[in-house]
């Protein structure tokens, strides 16, 4: 399986391309900006984007969704509880002094324990709210794409933004992430990758 990270935008968001191999259909996770860079990386790997998987709908994770959708006609997937944030992309951008276009309609709302299939790939959906109401993580073959729920070095997502909840975030991490096998690799929304075991050790030693 190919997991190709692309760092995009002013917030250095981790966007990920996931495919079975070169020349295959691919999912793009959190295309936050720099659509041309994402599409160029796909071209180099001969990948065809068929799914746009959104972990949560903050502007730095969905800023390039429209351009990717228009270029590929890929299916847009996110959790329904983040739809207000998704639809407020223009307002989110304005708040940070940026502008853009509204995103296209969501094609599929995912829920906890859903599976998104793409060829031979099966992405299990874990609803992990706290950073945002509809935050989800995608689990596939011992790899967790966690969005902004948890980061390397014992850091977790902020909860002071609209819809954030510290208690929900703690529950999501404890019940949905720390119960995964220790060797599970975490690919977060920002910063370097880590493992469930490493972050569990940080949390329990704090």
Taking the alpha carbons at both ends of the chain, their separation in whole angstroms is 35
Three-state secondary-structure class, residue 138: strand
CA distance 121 to 113: 15
What was the pLDDT predicted at 150? Answer: 98
User: How would residue 85 be classed by pLDDT, with cut points 50, 70 and 90?
Assistant: very high
Q: How many CB atoms lie within 10 A of CB 43?
A: 10
Please determine, for residue 160, whether its predicted confidence score (pLDDT) is greater than 80: yes
CA distance 14 to 2: 15
Per cent of the chain over pLDDT 90 is 97
Please determine, for residue 206, whether its predicted confidence score (pLDDT) is greater than 80: no
Please determine, for residue 53, whether its predicted confidence score (pLDDT) is greater than 70: yes
What was the pLDDT predicted at 204? Answer: 75
What was the pLDDT predicted at 114? Answer: 98
Asked if the 2-205 domain carries CATH number 3.40.50.300, the reply is no
pTM: predicted TM-score of the whole model, two decimal places: 0.97
Per cent of the chain over pLDDT 70 is 99
The CA-atom distances, in angstroms, between 51 and each of 2, 19, 71, 95 are 15, 10, 12, 29
Cα atoms found within 13 Å of the Cα of residue 73, Cβ hemisphere only = 0
CA angle 188, 154, 1 (to 5 degrees): 30
What was the pLDDT predicted at 205? Answer: 67
- With both helix axes pointing from N to C terminus, report the angle between 65-72 and 35-45 in degrees, rounded to the nearest 10: 40
Please determine, for residue 157, whether its predicted confidence score (pLDDT) is greater than 80: yes
Please determine, for residue 74, whether its predicted confidence score (pLDDT) is greater than 90: yes
Q: What is the pLDDT of residues 175-199, one digit of tens each?
A: 999 999 999 999 999 999 999 999 9
Q: What is the pLDDT of residues 90-137, one digit of tens each?
A: 999 999 999 999 999 999 999 999 999 999 999 999 999 999 999 999
What was the pLDDT predicted at 203? Answer: 86
Average pLDDT over residues 139-151: 98
């Amino acid at each position: 399986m190919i997991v190709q990270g692309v760092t995009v935008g002013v917030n250095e968001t981790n966007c990920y391309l996931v495919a079975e191999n070169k020349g295959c259909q691919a999912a793009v996770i959190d295309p936050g900006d720099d659509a041309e860079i994402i599409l160029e990386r796909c071209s180099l790997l001969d990948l065809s984007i068929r799914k746009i998987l959104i972990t949560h709908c903050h502007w730095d994770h969905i800023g390039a969704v429209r351009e990717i959708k228009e270029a590929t006609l890929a299916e847009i997937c996110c959790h329904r509880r983040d739809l207000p944030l998704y639809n407020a992309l223009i307002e989110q951008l304005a708040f940070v002094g940026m502008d853009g276009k509204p995103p296209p309609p969501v094609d599929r709302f995912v829920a906890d324990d859903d599976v998104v299939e793409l060829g031979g790939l099966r992405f299990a959906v874990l609803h992990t709210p706290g950073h945002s109401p509809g935050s989800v993580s995608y689990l596939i073959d011992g790899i967790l794409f966690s969005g902004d729920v948890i980061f390397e070095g014992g850091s977790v997502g902020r909860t002071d933004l609209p819809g954030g909840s510290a208690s929900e975030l703690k529950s999501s991490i404890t019940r949905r992430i720390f119960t995964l096998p220790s060797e599970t690799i975490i690919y977060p929304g920002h910063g370097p990758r880590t493992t469930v075991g490493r972050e569990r050790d940080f949390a329990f030693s704090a």
